[in-house]
Structures are given as C-alpha cells and as structure tokens.
A and B are shown apart, each in its own frame.
Chain A
Amino acid sequence: DGGITQSPKYLFRKEGQNVTLSCEQNLNHDAMYWYRQDPGQGLRLIYYSQIVNDFQKGDIAEGYSVSREKKESFPLTVTSAQKNPTAFYLCASSIVEAHNEQFFGPGTRLTVL
C-alpha cells in the first residue's frame, strides 16, 4: 500500500534531550514537509524539502533540524534548543507541480517531561 508512515506514534523524552521523529513515504513524491500542531491552532510549517539533499526553513524552524538523504525519508530532530517541544508533529508529502496537494502521515505525539 502506498502511503506515509511516521514512527513512533507516541514519544516521551526528558527535557534537554534531542529526539528524532521518523517520516517515510512510498508515494514517489519529491516534496516532503514537517508541521507542528498545537491545540486550537492551524498547522505550522517547520521545514520542507522539494528535492533530495535540499531543504528550507518554514515559519517555525528554530530548535529543529532535518535531513533529506533519500527521496523516501525526511527525519525531523527536535533539539534541546526548542523551548516548547511538546506537540503533535505531522509529516506530509506531495508532488512538485501545479496541483501539489499534500498528503499527511498519522502523526507523532511528542511529550517532553
């Protein structure tokens, strides 16, 4: 089945630790995205990548880092520099053409204790 997978579903970390969230897609999409979702707010873009080995900062990139070594994978690292990391993180992918609707993974809920 084609789709986007995120792991793990739930993640707990102690304050001050870096943590990496996984995102994999087998849709052959060139573009991938990371969003953060907080209660009562819309999705906010953290980072995006339109091609392997290239990525750009979104609206709230501070305290996060990404890599895009493979087309299928776009891991997100939440660093200790992120002041308020507890949130629901969503990964998405799309084609890079005019009608590039984004398709989302199931999300990872990160709780920093």
Chain B
Amino acid sequence: GQQLNQSPQSMFIQEGEDVSMNCTSSSIFNTWLWYKQDPGEGPVLLIALYKAGELTSNGRLTAQFGITRKDSFLNISASIPSDVGIYFCAGRDNYGQNFVFGPGTRLSVLP
C-alpha cells in the first residue's frame, strides 16, 4: 500500500530558529495536507495543497507541493514555544478516496 515518510523523525531547536521538515511518498499525490497535533489532542489542519509547485502560507508557516508530486515541505519561521507538537503530513492520489498519513515529525522548542 501507499506509505509516507517524514523527515526528520524529531528535532530540537532554539526559540527563534526556522524549521524545515518534509514528507515523501512512494506514489504521486494530488493533494497534500499538513496537520499539527498537541499532546493528547486531535490534529489541527494547518495548510492544504492541491497543485504541483503550489506554495501556501499560513502566518509563520509555509508549505510547498513538490514538483514531482511525490513530496511536500513545511517550513516554520521564527519558532516559538507553542510550536511544540507533532506535525503530520497526509496525502491522497487521484484514485484514493481517503488520505494516507505520515508517522509525524516531533518538534521541541528550547527557550
């Protein structure tokens, strides 16, 4: 079946630093979603991407739909303590009805 890989698995950064993470797929997708999950809570949708090459921002967050359609990237600028959490990517291809979720990137922000 389809699988998504997320990199890095976890990261520790200083407050104020920029963050980059990515998500790769073994197959081509037509939709990418990025979610953030706080401990013990449900994931919250951050950004949705629908077209190859698309670059979309949401405040300090910017996500891109990779040109190959097999990857997506999420950047967070000027990190703050509340950015702590797990960031999940999810993708769907033209034939799938449902989304496939990656294993997540755990972000820790040090003061």
Contacts and interface: CB of A to CB of B under 8 A. Distances in A.
A90 B31 contact: no
A59 B1 contact: yes
A104 B43 CA distance: 6
Contacts of B44: 104
Interface stretch (A13-21, A62-70, A72-80, A95-103): A95-103
A2 interface: no
B74 interface: no
Interface string B57-91: 00000000000000000000000000000001010
Nearest to B3: A42
Interface residues of B, number: 23
A106 B41 contact: yes
Interface in A19-72: 33, 35, 40-45, 48, 50, 58-59
Given A4-B42, A101-B33, 9 more contacts: A40-B103, A42-B88, A42-B103, A58-B98, A59-B1, A99-B50, A101-B45, A104-B44, A107-B41
